[in-house]
Copies of this chain bind each other. A is one copy, B any other.
Amino acid sequence: MHRIAAIISQGDEIVIGQTLDTNSRWIAARLLAAGISPVEHVSLPDDRIAIATTFARLSGKVDLILCSGGLGPTADDLTRFALADVLEDTLVEDAQSLRQIEAWFAARGRQMVDLNKVQAMRPTTATMLPNLHGTAPGIRARLGRCDIFCLPGPPRELTPMFESLVLPHLEPDRTRTVRVRVLHTIGLGESEIAGRFRAAPGGDLMDRNRSPLVGTTASNSVVSCRIRYEGPLSSSEADSLVARDEATIRSLIGEAIFGEDEDTLASVIVNTLKARRQSVATVESCTGGLIASQLTDIAGASEVFRSGWVTYANEAKVREVGVPETLFKDSPGSQAPGAVSAQVAHAMALGGARQADADFAIAVTGIAGPGGGSAEKPVGTVYVAIAGRGCDPDVRRFAFTGDRVAIREWSARAGLAMLWLTLSNRRSVKLLRQVEVARV
């Protein structure tokens, strides 16, 4: 029975901050969807004792351990050795695995080098999990009452192996139900939401002794509200409890909700436009393609997104989407509004929508820094415009803080948020860090 799980990610590069671990998050979401609650993630260096100690510690606490990484052919790949240590077992060569690894190389016209032989080694009491996308098979073992699955680190190998070789062997507690519902909002701060939840008719929604549990998470301007039930109720009873809380939340902050669960601003926009047979173009200066790449990340984007421009230089704004040259300052004392202005953002959006024959265009011009700021327009000053034949123009000025990466992310988020406000007829919503609605 697998009720609670821990997730280990393995590698010096993660622990010293060279590489961002994305596997643990992915595994956690998949486990939760399968009805098993992740309760701890641990990242460890390539240290055989640290890995073995952690297997031992966690096996006394959880029913299931998922470990990623450390199964490569090199001397810093120690997961199999640590697993043998904690199992008080020795390693043997798995003949079938060795053949599979040889075949993997042969299929690519290469000969297996001796180095890769270690990848066919497993503790005698463990079993191998074949890897169709790389040379590192996974390993499955049992330590006390805890099941351990070790998978290779590269996501393109790990994800299919999880789906085909781990998921079918998971045994969630059928007498317990886990349900999670997430509602994503834009336009309200986290403490504003918490304040409204506190004043809910049935008492504070975020009380930690309440079931389901309600929590919030802020990521730039998006605040996500999570309703999570874990307990003995049947699926349908749990569903109705979660639905009741969802209804309460919608009554308290409904105007700010744009999506549920896996939805993102980009996916909601693409799907809404698709359903309405409308289209969007992008004209980006300081975001440099970030908005276009977020929209085109969504499968099926080609039905609603046909072209976009990264008009980084002023000449590009003029040449590509017809921004009037007179809007740019030709000399330091000029009275023209300049490249970072409501007028230029508006002209970029109008020109892009016209050129792409799109219903809407999102345009962004601003100062992401670190250079380029002035007293009047400091770093973080960003204008975002929505325009096109599908709507009246909406142009807003924002004052973002943070470094270049943060300002670009906030700006892209603001562009998507403003298009969503247009599509959902909620333009009166003021966004975080918005300082004014510009008249154009």
Contacts and interface: CB of A to CB of B under 8 A. Distances in A.
B320 A313 contact: no
B180 A16 contact: yes
In the complex, the count of this chain's copies comes to 2
B194 A115 contact: yes
B308 A312 contact: yes
Given A115-B195, A297-B405, A299-B369, A41 B15 contact: yes
Contact of A17 (B26, B46, B215, B219): B26
Interface in A13-62: 13-22, 24-32, 37-47, 50
A217 B11 contact: yes
A98 to B, nearest CB: 15
B30 A39 contact: no
A287 B11 CA distance: 30
A126 interface: no
A312 B296 contact: yes
A293 B371 CA distance: 18
A254 interface: no
A290 interface: yes
A240 interface: no
A316 B11 contact: no
Given A17-B27, A18-B224, A296-B289, A76 B40 contact: no
Given A204-B75, A297-B408, A302-B312, A29 B17 contact: yes
Nearest to A28: B17
Contacts of A217: 11, 13, 18-19
Given A287-B293, A293-B290, A311-B307, A38 B18 contact: no
A291 interface: yes
Contact of A288 (B15, B47, B296, B319): B296
Nearest to A209: B75
Interface in A278-292: 282, 284, 286-292
A305 interface: yes
Contact of A316 (B46, B180, B307, B310): B307
Interface string A201-234: 0001011100001011111000010101000000
The contact size tier of chain A is 35 or more
A290 to B, nearest CB: 4
Among A182, A288, A307, A309, the most chain B Cβ lie within 10 Å of the Cβ of: A288
A275 interface: no
Contacts of A228: 12, 16
Contacts of A195: 113, 115
A173 to B, nearest CB: 16
Given A289-B290, A369-B299, A32 B16 contact: yes
Contact of A15 (B11, B40, B219): B40
Interface string A315-338: 110011000000000000000000
A73 interface: yes
23 contacts: A12-B228, A14-B41, A16-B180, A17-B31, A19-B219, A20-B20, A40-B43, A40-B50, A41-B41, A46-B208, A73-B190, A74-B191, A76-B216, A113-B191, A288-B295, A289-B290, A293-B408, A300-B371, A306-B315, A307-B320, A308-B310, A308-B312, A310-B310
Given A16-B228, A288-B296, A289-B308, 9 more contacts: A15-B40, A74-B190, A75-B204, A76-B206, A286-B296, A288-B305, A302-B312, A307-B312, A307-B320
